[in-house]
Structure 1
Amino acid sequence: MVPVRASLEVDRPAEQGPQTNGDFFMLRRITTALAAGALLAGIGLASSGTASAAPAGGPWVGCPYGAVCIYGQDVNPWGSPHPTDVYYSYGAHNLSGKYGHHYIVNNQYNGASVSLCSGYNGVGCHPQLPAQNAQTYDLTPVNSITLNRDPILG
């Protein structure tokens, strides 16, 4: 019996594509690598959105899940994830010694919000920060915050 040599090489002009099986697989690797790179770039662009999307069920920039956190004056929680104040219970919480701009992170769930109030004990409250959001506020005129249940979900 005479051994037979099989080959997938095809004689064709250069403009019709790769000349050898090896060229075909090299082209396929390059195409796959480019597609994977485009996919990863798309994921990177999609995940570089706003800071208002907290991970569900876990801590967010040092703020425990289910809590509202206040960070030190002019402290960026993404650079220093160590809150100075952490609140878990619904209702009013009086503030003391908070002046200037502070980040507030609302890592509560089920639509719970936090309000900033000009008076003590939750009096004179202003717009709410929804659950799973973060914002910087000037706390100089703020004397208390309230943690609020969602009126529908309770």
Structure 2
Amino acid sequence: MQVVRAGHGGPGGVPAGAAAAGGTYANCSYGAACIYGGANWNGWPKEYFSRGNHPFYNQYGVKRVFNNQSPGWYAQLCRNANGTNCDITIAPWTYVDVDLTPYNSLRIVGP
């Protein structure tokens, strides 16, 4: 499992300007994994809260994926819509800018 721990904002992948983990940040509720419309914090992201697989459709190009969850909860990007072939794992309070074209689901895993 490749765990991504670095973002493009502040040290350790913590978004620049964030006060502390544990609250809503950039319109992404605490406890959610969020997909933004581009490689930035603009707009209202699609939020995913529950454990398990979440298929998504028509996501092309580079998007920001932010894991705004508590320690121990990870967001995974999977190439298959059924939550398999996951090759990016995003640690809590971390984001990545990634081309979602080859991905078809986001899976939330935790304790």
Normalising by the residue count of structure 2, what TM-score does the alignment of the two structures yield? 0.81
Task: Pick from 93, 97, 100 the counterpart of residue 132 of structure 1.
Answer: 93
TM-superposition CA deviations, 1:53-75 (whole Å, max 9, x none): 25222011111000000000x34
Question: For the pair shown, which has the larger CA radius of gyration, 1 or 2?
Answer: 1
Structure 1 segments unaligned to the other structure (5+ residues): 1-47
TM-score computed with the length of structure 1 as normaliser: 0.60
The answer as to whether partners of 2:54 and 2:83 remain within 8 angstroms in 1 is yes
Larger strand share, 1 or 2: 2
Alpha-carbon displacement from aligned partner over 1:97-117 (angstroms, at most 9, x marks no partner): 100000001000022111111
Instruction: State the identity as a percent.
Output: 36
Q: Is 1:69 matched up with 2:48? A: no
Paired AA for residue 76 in structure 1? N
**More relative contact order in 1 or in 2 (CA 8 Å, sep 6+)?**
2
Task: Write out per-residue CA displacement over residues 98-152 of structure 1, whole angstroms, 9 at most, x where no aligned residue.
Answer: 0000000100002211111111110111130100001101000001110110xxx
CA RMSD of aligned residues (A): 1.7
Q: Which runs of 5+ in 2 are unaligned?
A: 1-8
- Where does residue 92 of structure 1 map in the other structure? 53
Structure 1 or 2: larger helix share?
1
